[in-house]
Amino acid sequence: MRKTKNFSDLDSVHAKQLQVLNFVREKDNCTRTEIAEALDIDKKTVSTLVRDLSNKLLIESAGYKDSQVGRRQEILRLNGAHSNFIGIDLGATHVIGILVNLRGEVVDRVYFEIRPQLPVKLILEQMKTVCQTLIKSQRATAEIPSIGLCVPGFVNPDTGISVIAENIPGWRDVRIREIFEQEQGKPVYVEDCSRAAGFAERWLGEGKQAKDFLTLDLGYGIGMSLFLNRELYTGSGYKAGEIGHSVVKLDGTECTCGKRGCLETVASGRGIARQAASGIAEKRSELLERLTHGKCETVTAHDVAIAASMNDEYSVALLREAGRYIGAATANAVNLLDPQLLILGGGLVNAGSILIDSIKESLKQYTMMGIAEDIEIRVSKLGVDSSALGIALIAMDRIFCP
Ligand SMILES: [Zn+2]
């Protein structure tokens, strides 16, 4: 049976309770003694605060652990049954919707493939369908107080306007928050896809323990999120992280942003597909030609990855070259920011070890000595759902920072 929850209750979570709640969120499993020590609050007060938060269904028991001082200690964690949140990720080629509980565990998922050439109105309709499917999900375990939407390109989380998505023709100044708030009657939060993906890494992925880390979002476009001192860095106008538009080839091919020689022109899913199409037209890969039935304009980075896994020389070289450029551009960011961790994420990571190894090699080559030795590189385990997951976590954030 579904538990119900009165969300006006959230207003009554006061500062001390919030402190405990956020500690439990950060630590995941912890005891009252650990809370008391970390927050410098006496044990009796901690017990009262924990009881209040349990009564509000925000935290729950996750069993007991033996204590050296005798009594068994209760392990506390966030209560997944408190509420569910929707996260919808609009990519250039997909709409992914995810329903998560307060612990960030996936309750339901919807996936739609779309063509980037679709009219804006139809894309919005697809997003609304995904949202509606999750609102009505039979798998929901609690009420859904808020919704998160992430879109590529420039997004202003304050105004809720998606200013521009270079990879979706015609997508300009879409009042995405207003549209969904009017339709659903719930608070809606918007963010850029790459920043949302970084948010997921921060709470559920490889960035859980890191103070300063960068997450590369390698997909149809290329973005980056920056977590500096545990905080998401957005820039002064929410435009930070556009590494895909850093120039790697002076006077190179024209990019969707209007400049020339951007990283995306040679190494994004779109850039790889564009080069592969030329390769097929120039008869440089029989296998790619077969995979696309000779229709070179339909080739995708996924086809290139398949051909590369079958040792197609042209495709292997294409992925290696893409990795080389990604590594070089990322090395510039690493030299500038000296993060402790770099996470490689996004759908292109599935292209496999040829691309990943090439990125790592190139990073090592172009990052300054003294920085290169210290940085740890990890591949995201969150897969293609990372942005949807991250934006659902952003939608839930008001519970922890009202
Ligand atoms: Zn560009």
Give 55-110 pLDDT, tens digit per residue.
999 999 999 988 766 678 999 999 999 999 999 999 988 999 999 999 999 999 99
228 and 130 both lie in a single domain = no
Residue 230 belongs to a domain = yes
Residue 84 CA to ligand 1 center (angstroms) comes to 37
- pTM over 0.85, yes/no: yes
253 and 341 both lie in a single domain = yes
Residue 312 belongs to a domain = yes
276 and 327 both lie in a single domain = yes
Domain end position, chosen among 36, 64, 81: 81
Residue 34 CA to ligand 1 center (angstroms) comes to 48
Q: Tens digit of pLDDT for each residue in 180-216?
A: 999 999 999 999 999 999 999 999 999 999 999 999 9
Ramachandran area for residue 160 (φ above 0: left; ψ -120 to 50: alpha; else beta): left
Residue 253 CA to ligand 1 center (angstroms) comes to 10
Residue 119 belongs to a domain = yes
Residue 124 CA to ligand 1 center (angstroms) comes to 25
Residue 260 CA to ligand 1 center (angstroms) comes to 7
Note whether 202 and 330 are within 8 A (CB): no
Domain end position, chosen among 61, 81, 101: 81
Residue 242 CA to ligand 1 center (angstroms) comes to 9
Structurally, the chain folds into a number of domains equal to 3
Tokens of 315: 């495709």
Domain that holds residue 241: 209-381
Residue 265 CA to ligand 1 center (angstroms) comes to 7
Higher pLDDT, 165 or 357: 357
Three-state DSSP at 147 gives strand
The answer to whether residue 1 scores a pLDDT higher than 90 is: no
Residue 248 CA to ligand 1 center (angstroms) comes to 10
297 and 173 both lie in a single domain = no
Residue 307 CA to ligand 1 center (angstroms) comes to 27
Residue 14 CA to ligand 1 center (angstroms) comes to 46
CATH number at residue 56: 1.10.10.10
Give the whole-angstrom CA distance, residue 75 versus residue 80. Answer: 15
62 and 97 both lie in a single domain = no
Domain end position, chosen among 26, 56, 81: 81
For residues 221-244, average pLDDT: 96
Q: Which of the four pLDDT bands, split at 50, 70 and 90, describes residue 4?
A: very low
227 and 327 both lie in a single domain = yes
Residue 202 CA to ligand 1 center (angstroms) comes to 27
H or E element that contains 99: strand 94-101
| DSSP type of residue 342 | E
Give the pLDDT of residue 249.
96
CATH number at residue 177: 3.30.420.40
319 and 226 both lie in a single domain = yes
Q: Which of the four pLDDT bands, split at 50, 70 and 90, describes residue 2?
A: very low
Note whether 214 and 342 are within 8 A (CB): yes
249 and 374 both lie in a single domain = yes
Residue 375 CA to ligand 1 center (angstroms) comes to 27
Residue 355 belongs to a domain = yes
Residue 78 CA to ligand 1 center (angstroms) comes to 42
**Number of Cβ within a 10 Å radius of residue 161:** 18
Note whether 94 and 111 are within 8 A (CB): yes
58 and 175 both lie in a single domain = no
Q: Kindly tell me the sign of the dihedral angle through the C-alpha atoms of 347, 379, 383, 131.
A: negative
Residue 266 belongs to a domain = yes
Residue 1 belongs to a domain = no
261 and 306 both lie in a single domain = yes
Give the pLDDT of residue 6.
53
Residue 92 belongs to a domain = yes
Residue 308 CA to ligand 1 center (angstroms) comes to 26
Q: E-assigned strands of 167-296?
A: 172-174, 188-192, 213-218, 222-228, 231-233
Q: Could you give the maximum distance between any two Cα atoms of the chain, in Å?
A: 76
Q: Which residues, including other chains, have CB under 8 Å from residue 279's CB and lie 6 or more apart?
A: 285, 288, 314, 318
53 and 190 both lie in a single domain = no
Residue 57 belongs to a domain = yes
281 and 191 both lie in a single domain = no
